[in-house]
Amino acid sequence: MMKTKRLGKTDLYLPVLGLGTVKIGRNEKVKYPEDFKIPDDEAVIELFNKAKSLGMNFIDTAPAYGSSESRLGSLLPGKREDWIIASKAGEEFIKGESAYDFSREHIIKSVKRSLKRLKTDYLDIVLIHSNGDDLNIINKDGALETLADLKKEGLIRASGMSTKTVDGGKRALELSDVVMVSYNPTDTECREVLEHAKDLNKGILIKKAFGSGHLCKDEKYTTEDIFKFIFHQAAVTSIVVGSINIKHLESNIIEANKAF
């Protein structure tokens, strides 16, 4: 079973490894080293059942992940409370291109659409899906304030931002519960964000632990090495990995438990 950790000051306890779901909804304009086929419903259900049986009940999705949210809503096994679901707002993937809208109106509309797609009346985590202009999204668009209002309404349990800059990550931590950042042995730019999260006792989710799959091809690093490197940062709550291969999923869970 997966080890778990509290997400900052929230009442959420996440497995130290979460399942990213880009690959069940979109295979256009992604940055993985190899092409892949989107798995059919049977394969997705089998993947979810295996993850659930091993305690990997944290699922990360987004409107920008194609059909991911809708498929999760239809295919996740068990009861809603069996799963911790994170989604995002701000980025759309339309006709093969990303489009961004961080206005209050759009974020509210996006979150309510995610609830319908996922067939639930609440989301455990919602992150602003940044285009890289982090500080303007926070300071001018007021995107994190919008999520805070949705949290007060009970539509979401924890809010934050998937950031792309150090300053944006640090500011988002000061105004929300959790930040998602890229971090791995070859990408340490956001170490300062992780240290700030530790000081504030806020949650950190890690994306691109394997460099979108490219580090898996680098013989200098084993999976356990990468996980140990990331978990060395005390603020890290969970690493989100996007496997659609059950053997890889099982292996990742074993290595994450050993490294944590």
> Active-site residues: which are they?
65
- For 165, which DSSP code? S
> If DSSP codes are grouped into helix, strand and coil, which group holds residue 88?
strand
* Residues comprising the chain, all counted: 260
Taking residue 3's Cβ as centre, other Cβ atoms within 10 Å add up to 15
Taking residue 98's Cβ as centre, other Cβ atoms within 10 Å add up to 12
Angstrom distance (rounded) from CA 138 to CA 76? 33
- What residues have CB less than 8 Å from 136, skipping those under 6 apart? none
Beta bridge partners of 236: 204
Please say whether the beta carbons of 185 and 225 come within 8 A: yes
| Helices and strands (DSSP H and E) totals, the chain | 9, 12
Is residue 41 classed exposed, middle or buried when 0-12, 13-18 and 19+ CB atoms within 10 A define those classes? exposed
Q: Is the dihedral of CA 36, 39, 40, 43 positive or negative?
A: positive
- Please identify which residue in the block is written with the tokens 């290595």: 255
Angstrom distance (rounded) from CA 7 to CA 2? 15
